[in-house]
């Protein structure tokens, strides 16, 4: 069964309060996550000098390189968005053509969550919950297919397992809090 993008988006657009709430939550989750990430980087710099900056450089390098790689991949694929495929105006403000797969918003929030996992399981869980909420908002807002948000989260988690887990365990370059 396919997700009824047009019906759901039109239902949301017919309720101004719901449209506003969706837009506010979309932006709020994004900005809250950015603030958490910046604070985390500051924390890595200021309060963990004993590791020689390893946590800081990993926490910048892995998400940064991954973000660029995902951006180039989605530009090359240039998958259409639900509003392009089904011909409706999305509830979230968006007019980008293509570049739907994978969701870069969802990829980023889950990459930040996995980055937090290096030192705080609680914050990783909190940001993951925000990521799930953001994924739902992006789908019901009509700007991503379910596969886009699932792929974005999955790619972030897989890259994190490889970079923070496997490479760290084998080469000692990265660490997990357990």
How many domains does the chain fold into?
1
Instruction: Let me know if residue 29 belongs to a domain.
Output: yes
Residue 147 within any structural domain of the chain: yes
Within a domain: 53? yes
d(CA 12, CA 22): 9
Residues 143, 22: contact at Cβ < 8 Å?
A: no
pLDDT tens-digit profile, the chain (178 residues): 456 777 887 788 788 888 899 999 999 999 999 999 999 999 888 876 666 677 888 889 899 999 999 999 999 999 999 999 988 888 898 888 999 999 999 999 999 999 999 889 999 999 999 999 999 999 999 899 999 999 999 999 999 998 887 766 555 554 444 3
Does residue 40 belong to any structural domain of this protein? yes
- The answer to whether residue 177 is domain-embedded is no
Q: Which domain holds residue 66?
A: 5-171
Residue pair 41/142 in contact (Cβ under 8 Å)? The answer is: no
Identify whether 67 is part of a domain. Answer: yes
Is 176 inside a domain boundary?
no
**Within a domain: 178:** no
Q: Residue 177 has what pLDDT?
A: 42
Residue 47: predicted pLDDT: 73
Q: What is the DSSP letter of 14?
A: T
According to DSSP H, which parts of the chain are helical?
Answer: 5-13, 16-47, 54-77, 82-86, 104-116, 121-140, 146-160, 167-171
Residues 178, 81: Cα–Cα separation, whole Å: 39
């Amino acid at each position: 069964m396919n997700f009824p993008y047009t019906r759901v988006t039109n239902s949301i657009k017919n309720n101004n309060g719901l449209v506003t709430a969706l837009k506010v939550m979309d932006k709020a989750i994004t900005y809250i996550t950015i603030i958490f990430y910046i604070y985390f980087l500051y924390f890595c710099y200021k309060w963990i000098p004993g590791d020689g900056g390893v946590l800081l450089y990993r926490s910048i390098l892995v998400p940064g390189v991954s973000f660029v790689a995902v951006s180039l991949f989605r530009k090359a694929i240039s998958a259409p968005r639900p509003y392009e495929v089904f011909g409706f105006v999305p509830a979230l403000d968006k007019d980008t053509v293509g570049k739907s797969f994978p969701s870069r918003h969802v990829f980023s929030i889950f990459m930040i969550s996995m980055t937090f996992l290096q030192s705080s399981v609680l914050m990783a869980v909190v940001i993951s919950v925000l990521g799930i909420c953001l994924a739902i908002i992006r789908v019901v807002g009509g700007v991503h297919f379910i596969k886009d948000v699932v792929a974005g989260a999955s790619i972030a988690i897989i890259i994190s397992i490889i970079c923070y887990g496997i490479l760290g365990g084998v080469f000692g370059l990265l660490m997990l809090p357990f």
